[in-house]
Structure formats: C-alpha cells, structure tokens
Amino acid sequence: MEKQKVKAGIIGTGNIGTDILMKLQRSDVLECGIFAGRNPDSVGIRRARAMGVPVSTDSIRAIEENPQCCEIVFDATSASTHCIHAPILERLNKFTIDLTPAHVGRFCVPALNMEECLQESNVNMITCGGQAVIPIVQAITEIHPDTKYIEVVATIASRSAGPGTRDNIDEFTQTTRDALTEFTGIADTKAIIILNPAEPPITMHNTIYALIEHPDMDALCRKVREAEARIRSYVPGYKIVMEPVFENGRVTTSLQVTGLGDYLPKYSGNLDIINCAAIEIAENYARQKILGGGNG
C-alpha cells in the first residue's frame, strides 16, 4: 500500500511557488493538494496543469472554498498579500509557511529553531539571504558573544529575482536585518542586498563581516565548517568559498549557494535555500504533527 502523504497547498505561482512544487514531487511525506495563483497564463500554472496537479486561479479563495485540499500552506505571494492571507489561514487552522518577508509569524531557520517553530501556526522564512547567512552568523556569535557588530551582503543574480522579490526589496532588506538582530541578540546589525545582472548569471554569493576585538580564528573556522555541514544536509549546494579571514580589522567569510536546478537554473541558489528550508520545516511538521504523534 502506498504510504499516506500530507497535502500541502501553494499560493503564488511565481519562481518560488513553482520551485516548491517541483521539490514536493520528491517528498515522501508531502504532496501538492492545490497550486493556486491569480494569473491563468503564468508559466507555473501551465506547468502544474501539465503535471496533473490541482490548480486554481482564485488564489486563497481556492483554499477557503475547499479547506480539505491541504493541511499545510506555503504562501509565496508578496509581503502585503501575506498580511491579508495570514488571518484567513489562521482561521482555517492551516500550518502556514510564509515565504515572503512579511514577518507575521515567528522567524524560522530550520538549522537553528526547528522545534520551537513546530509549535507555531505561522512561521516566516525570513529571506533567502537570511536563510543563507544566519546559521553562520549564529556560529560566529556563539564563539564570540563579544561580537560588536554584524553585517551581511547578499548578492543574487538579477534573473533569479522575480517580480515578487523586486516589489518587496524594502521588506527584504529590513526583515533580513531584523532577523540578524533577533537570532544573535546584537542590536547593531546591517543587511545589504545587491542584484547583479551579469551574463552568464552569477551564483548566489553572501559575505559576512564581524567586528570582534580578539578573534579566535581557529575556533571560528571550525565552527563555521560545522554550520556549513548542518545546512548542507538540507541544502546540498551550500558552500563556504572563503573561510573566515581577519583583514583590515574585521572578520570576513563568504559562501555561495548553488541551486538544485529544479525550476530555475542552478545559479538561483537563493530560491533553493529558502525553499529547501521551507520544505524541511513542512516535512517535519507533517511527520511529527500529522502522520506521527500517536494520532495518525
């Protein structure tokens, strides 16, 4: 007998939503119950239809009218739209994974706070930049709680930033910074987002700077490598490209994220890291709260 799968709904049929859809095909606990957007001609809708996935162009209304279609919802619309969706999904009692920078629910980085997030009804995946750098930043501040200042620079290929990301560039920048402060407790943080249009497109690139008076470089390198290994368990293309170095009075380290190439090409590591993280939390929720937990 085929194993029972939990149904997940996806709202938003752009780059993020369509990539999630592709990734769900590989899941052994999740399947797509509804793929809903607003644009009947979107590439995502056409592709989903061809795959035999239930689609709708009624966006969230599709879930309101047929709440049985899913138990978990991925919201890949936009920050302002998610603010409208959040109370509706709460009322429908759906575990909601917000992939916009709306920050309605708790910030979620699976490598750091999975268990706490499973107790929530709405979790926010911060931003792709946030998913990429926060585990490393956290590793640095764990070795050096005396870190005075943290700054991150996320550079992504223009072609991997869809209209949603562009329309939300302000929330994107602000939310990444807010999450840095929340996860490290350091008040003085900064997030910089750069779009690079070079052809062929560049792979997602992130740099982390830290101001630390007497950095223990060996311990930092070791800890950063450990964090890298942990993230690679759910984002295989995650790689430190420059180990922490001490130059010009600052600790600097950089990493790149190569995507799996599910929907957009491999340079779109930004899509992969946020989507892999979202799937990770969704699968854990499905296993622990729905399939397992003694009531399944």
The residues assigned a catalytic role are 128
By CB under 8 A, name the one of 38, 167, 236, 289 that touches other proteins.
Answer: 167
Shortest Cβ distance from residue 168 to other proteins (Å)? 8
SS3 sequence of the chain: CCCCCEEEEEECCCHHHHHHHHHHCCCCCEEEEEEECCCCCCHHHHHHHHHCCCEECCCCHHHHHCHHHCCEEEECCCHHHHHHHHHHHHHCCCEEEECCCCCCCEECCHHHHHHHHHCCCEEECCCHHHHHHHHHHHHHHHHCCCCCEEEEEEEEEHHHCCHHHHHCHHHHHHHHHHHHHHHHCCCCEEEEEEEECCCCCCCEEEEEEEECCCCCHHHHHHHHHHHHHHHHCCCCCEEEEEEEEEECCEEEEEEEECCCCCCCCCCCHHHHHHHHHHHHHHHHHHHHHHHCCCCC
Whose Cβ is closer to other proteins: residue 56's or residue 176's? 176
By CB under 8 A, name the one of 18, 131, 147, 173 that touches other proteins.
Answer: 173
Shortest Cβ distance from residue 71 to other proteins (Å)? 34
Of 10-18, 58-66, 104-112, 196-204, the segment contacting other proteins by CB under 8 A is 196-204
**Position 190 contacts other proteins (CB under 8 A):** yes
**Position 221 contacts other proteins (CB under 8 A):** no
Whose Cβ is closer to other proteins: residue 81's or residue 96's? 81
Of 41-49, 51-59, 150-158, 264-272, the segment contacting other proteins by CB under 8 A is 150-158
Whose Cβ is closer to other proteins: residue 194's or residue 229's? 194
**Position 148 contacts other proteins (CB under 8 A):** no
By CB under 8 A, the residues from 49 to 108 that bind other proteins are none
Contact residues toward other proteins (CB under 8 A) are: 149, 151, 153, 155, 158, 163, 166-170, 173-174, 177, 190, 192-198, 202, 205, 207, 209, 211, 241-242, 245, 247-248, 250, 252, 254
